[in-house]
């Protein structure tokens, strides 16, 4: 992680009580371009005092303004305006995201299109929440009116990870804002730049300045204040398992609503009735997109061992993995960027040693890229481990890197395929690739994963819920459930 320095950022990057401001500590932290390890800029490192000010401002605004008591419909146009501004500023924003994360410009542009759709979706969805649910029927006397209304939860702390900085924060902000909450946004210290840019767009769109505060900082600098403070009503967190657990514990004392979206170790089950070229493509793209730094990455290939099928697929994946063009995400032709940081590169290398020591067979990759053009950055070669089994750490732990493990099941042994696919503490996403539609449905019903892709991998829509079973989290984002996370229900029971 980049070191904190005792100098101010060139421009203030905290937004507290309606103003851009420097941290009261006077400290900042560099944000690094993972392509060449150069410093892009410095951002303010907020501290507990800054977090306290942001919470006080958000609380006051929530309790004294009409922001939360207005209709959902009155706030919906703000979301539409944000969507418009995202598109208008797409080129610049995509460049910022690519420089900060290392992902390709094409991937950054897709993220911007996706979040535009998220703001548009919640602008529509929010309006439905103005209509109270009228309760009638058994147990409700004629003398009574009973209705359930929806309102904001209050002050919400939104904490995002580094892999999809813009996307993940928008999944939280769009529903939180349409519901009339006040938001304190804490982007990852590793990739804060697109969130700062987004903040400016939201202000331009007309979101009341006190409805959104931004604290750029490491988790330890502001996390304890944000997640234990009695004036915070909700914490929505996306990130790693260990941090998620500690946030759940922090929220417990003041019984905050706490939604955590965590990691995954996602199986991609392929049967031998899938044409070879499609099977290779499906296995490859599921895991190597964004250099494997995707929570729903298909990092576990579970393949039917029938004839030469499994060997042929694995050989095809290895061949194609070695042809993936690594490079500067800003350049046309680059297929994969670097890992996000030096620390993450070291973590990936560590997993290779673990895999080898566990007896997995390394077929390709397994090290930092040696191409001199990439030597300054944090590039890691696409890696395939064969002969893996369920007892291995490399199979069970999230590597968050371009590392594919291969497990095989006996021809026709559907039960074993299901068992292996569910053999994880996580449960975020799974793929099932087969030409047999009945089998696909049968298996999909039994998979303990929040998303199941049949004959595809990785697609999502803002209209459907996203989240995980088990250790992948305790809530849902997107869809109507994603809005319910930011809404309180109130039952009004009245004698006529
Ligand atoms: P992380 O847990 O290290 O950090 C996530 C965020 O939490 C950062 O903003 C960090 O500063 C903050 N944080 C750290 N300690 C904190 C504390 N004590 N209190 C409050 N905030 C604190 O995760 P990461 O490395 O940034 O992200 C990678 C992880 O995110 C992976 O495990 C990935 O699977 C997961 N992820 C999940 C989803 C999903 O939809 N389920 C999506 C994207 C990423």
- Residue-wise pLDDT for 296-311, tens only, equals 999 999 999 999 999 9
- Tell me how many degrees the CA angle 103-106-109 measures, rounded to the nearest 5: 95
Identify the band that residue 8 occupies on the pLDDT scale cut at 50, 70 and 90. Answer: confident
**What are 425-454's pLDDT values in tens digits?**
999 999 999 999 999 999 999 999 999 999
The answer on pLDDT for 3 being more than 90 is: no
Rounded to an integer, what distance in angstroms lies between the CA atom of residue 412 and that of residue 286? 23
Tell me how long the chain is.
496
Report the predicted TM-score, pTM, of the whole model to 2 decimal places. Answer: 0.97
Q: Is 221 in the pocket of ligand 1 (CB under 6 A)?
A: no
Query: Which tokens is 298 given?
Result: 């298909």
Mapped onto helix, strand or coil, the DSSP state of residue 190 is: coil
Query: Which tokens is 259 given?
Result: 């939604």
| ipTM for the whole predicted complex goes beyond 0.85 | yes
Mapped onto helix, strand or coil, the DSSP state of residue 189 is: coil
Rounded to an integer, what distance in angstroms lies between the CA atom of residue 395 and that of residue 418? 16
- Tell me how many degrees the CA angle 281-398-184 measures, rounded to the nearest 5: 110
147-178 burial string, b = 16+ CB within 10 Å, else e?
eeebbbbbbbbbbbbbbbbbbbbbbbbbbbbb
Q: If you write DSSP's letter for every residue of 71-105 in order, what string do you get?
A: -HHHHHHHHHHHHHHHHHTHHHHHHHHHHHH---H
**Nearest atom, ligand 1, residue 295 CA:** 34
Catalytically annotated residue among 261, 407, 477, 485: 261
The answer on pLDDT for 7 being more than 90 is: no
Q: Is 261 a catalytic residue?
A: yes
Q: Is 473 in the pocket of ligand 1 (CB under 6 A)?
A: yes
Distance 219 CA to ligand 1 centre (A): 9
Rounded to an integer, what distance in angstroms lies between the CA atom of residue 282 and that of residue 270? 9
Distance 307 CA to ligand 1 centre (A): 42
Chain centroid to CA 476: 11
Query: Which tokens is 58 given?
Result: 């958000």
Give the number of other Cβ atoms within 10 Å of residue 285's Cβ: 15
Residues with Cβ within 8 Å of residue 471, at least 6 apart in sequence: 241, 262, 263, 425, 426, 427
**What are 31-72's pLDDT values in tens digits?**
999 999 999 999 999 999 999 999 999 999 999 999 999 999
Query: Which tokens is 339 given?
Result: 């890992």
pLDDT, averaged across the chain? 97
Q: Is 227 in the pocket of ligand 1 (CB under 6 A)?
A: yes
Rounded to an integer, what distance in angstroms lies between the CA atom of residue 158 and that of residue 169? 7
Rounded to an integer, what distance in angstroms lies between the CA atom of residue 463 and that of residue 480? 7
Q: Can you give the pLDDT at residue 209?
A: 98
Q: Give the residue extent of every domain in the chain.
A: 14-262+473-493, 267-454
Of all protein residues, the one whose alpha carbon is nearest to atom 15 of ligand 1 is 219
**What are 311-332's pLDDT values in tens digits?**
999 999 999 999 999 999 999 9
Share of the chain above pLDDT 70, in %: 100
Helices (H), 179-270: 193-205, 219-228, 241-252
The answer on pLDDT for 230 being more than 70 is: yes
**What are 146-159's pLDDT values in tens digits?**
999 999 999 999 99
Share of the chain above pLDDT 90, in %: 98
Arch. (CATH architecture) of 14-262+473-493:
3-Layer(aba) Sandwich (3.40)
Arch. (CATH architecture) of 267-454:
3-Layer(aba) Sandwich (3.40)
**Nearest atom, ligand 1, residue 239 CA:** 30
Please name the residue that has the structure tokens 């800054």.
50
Residues with Cβ within 8 Å of residue 480, at least 6 apart in sequence: 125, 465
Q: What share of the chain is helix, strand, coil (3-state, %, to 5)?
A: 40, 20, 35
Q: Is 223 in the pocket of ligand 1 (CB under 6 A)?
A: yes
Mean pLDDT of 108-136: 97
Rounded to an integer, what distance in angstroms lies between the CA atom of residue 23 and that of residue 12? 8
Q: Can you give the pLDDT at residue 193?
A: 98
Mean pLDDT of 288-298: 97
Chain centroid to CA 73: 27
The answer on pLDDT for 1 being more than 70 is: no
Strand order from edge to edge, sheet including 383-386: 361-364, 383-386, 403-410, 300-305, 267-270, 429-433, 451-454
**Nearest atom, ligand 1, residue 190 CA:** 26
Residues with Cβ within 8 Å of residue 72, at least 6 apart in sequence: 126, 127, 128, 129, 130, 150, 178, 179, 180
Distance 270 CA to ligand 1 centre (A): 30
Q: Is 263 in the pocket of ligand 1 (CB under 6 A)?
A: yes
**Nearest atom, ligand 1, residue 159 CA:** 9
Query: Which tokens is 177 given?
Result: 């804002």
Tally of helices (H runs) and strands (E runs) in the chain: 15, 19
Q: Can you give the pLDDT at residue 2?
A: 72
Mean pLDDT of 337-349: 98
Please name the residue that has the structure tokens 């004959």.
455
**Nearest atom, ligand 1, residue 235 CA:** 20
Distance 142 CA to ligand 1 centre (A): 51
Helical (H) or strand (E) element with 409: strand 403-410
Q: Bridge-partner residues for 51, per DSSP?
A: none
Mutate to test the pocket of ligand 1, among 164, 240, 344 (most ligand atoms within 8 A of CB): 240
Q: Is 46 in the pocket of ligand 1 (CB under 6 A)?
A: no
Distance 472 CA to ligand 1 centre (A): 12
Q: Is 188 in the pocket of ligand 1 (CB under 6 A)?
A: yes
Distance 241 CA to ligand 1 centre (A): 8
Helices (H), 433-473: 437-446
Of all protein residues, the one whose alpha carbon is nearest to atom 26 of ligand 1 is 161
The answer on pLDDT for 385 being more than 70 is: yes
Residues with Cβ within 8 Å of residue 68, at least 6 apart in sequence: 62, 151, 152, 154, 180, 181, 182
Distance 240 CA to ligand 1 centre (A): 4
**Nearest atom, ligand 1, residue 186 CA:** 9
Rounded to an integer, what distance in angstroms lies between the CA atom of residue 300 and that of residue 267? 5
């Amino acid at each position: 992680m980049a070191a904190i320095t005792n100098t101010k950022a060139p421009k203030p990057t905290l937004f507290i009580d309606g103003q851009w401001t420097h941290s009261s500590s006077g400290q900042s932290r560099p944000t690094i371009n993972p392509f060449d390890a150069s410093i892009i800029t410095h951002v303010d490192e907020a501290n507990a005092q800054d977090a306290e000010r942001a919470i006080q401002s958000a609380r006051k605004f929530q309790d004294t303004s009409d922001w939360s008591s207005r209709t959902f419909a009155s706030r919906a146009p703000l979301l539409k305006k944000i969507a418009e501004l995202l598109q208008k500023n797409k080129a610049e924003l995509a460049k910022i995201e690519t420089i900060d994360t290392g992902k390709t410009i094409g991937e950054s542009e897709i993220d911007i299109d996706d979040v535009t759709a998220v703001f548009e979706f919640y602008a529509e969805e929010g309006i439905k929440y103005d209509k109270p649910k009228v309760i009638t029927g058994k147990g409700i006397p004629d003398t009574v009116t009973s209705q359930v209304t929806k309102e904001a939860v209050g002050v919400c702390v939104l904490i995002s990870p580094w892999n999809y900085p813009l996307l993940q924060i928008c999944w939280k902000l769009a529903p939180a804002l349409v519901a009339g909450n006040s938001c304190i946004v804490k982007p990852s210290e590793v990739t804060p730049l697109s969130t700062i840019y987004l903040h400016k767009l939201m202000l331009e769109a007309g979101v009341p300045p006190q409805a959104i505060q931004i604290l750029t900082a490491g988790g330890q600098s502001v996390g304890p204040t944000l997640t234990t403070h009695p004036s915070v009503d909700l914490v929505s967190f996306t990130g790693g398992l260990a941090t998620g657990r500690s946030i759940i514990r922090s929220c417990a004392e003041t019984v905050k609503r706490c939604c955590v979206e965590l990691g995954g170790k996602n199986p991609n089950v392929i049967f031998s009735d899938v044409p070879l070229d499609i099977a290779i493509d499906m296995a490859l793209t599921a895991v190597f997109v964004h250099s494997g730094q995707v929570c729903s990455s298909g990092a576990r290939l579970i393949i039917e061992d029938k004839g030469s099928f499994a060997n042929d697929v694995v050989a095809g994946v290895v061949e194609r993995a070695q042809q993936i063009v690594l490079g500067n995400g800003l350049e046309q032709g680059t297929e994969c960027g670097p890992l996000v940081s030096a620390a993450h590169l070291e973590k990936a290398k560590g997993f290779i040693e673990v895999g080898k020591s566990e007896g997995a067979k390394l077929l390709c990759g397994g090290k930092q890229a040696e191409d001199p053009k990439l030597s300054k950055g944090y590039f890691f070669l696409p890696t395939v481990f064969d002969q893996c089994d369920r007892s291995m750490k490399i199979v069970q732990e999230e590597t968050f890197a371009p590392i594919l493990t291969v497990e095989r099941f006996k021809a026709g042994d559907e039960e074993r395929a299901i068992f292996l696919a569910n053999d994880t503490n996580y449960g975020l996403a799974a793929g099932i690739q087969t030409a047999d539609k009945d089998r696909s449905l049968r298996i999909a019903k039994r998979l303990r994963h929040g998303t199941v892709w049949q004959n595809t991998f990785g697609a999502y829509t803002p209209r459907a819920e996203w989240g995980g079973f088990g250790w992948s989290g305790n809530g849902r984002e997107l869809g109507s459930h994603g809005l319910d996370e930011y809404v309180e229900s109130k039952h009004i029971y009245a004698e006529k």
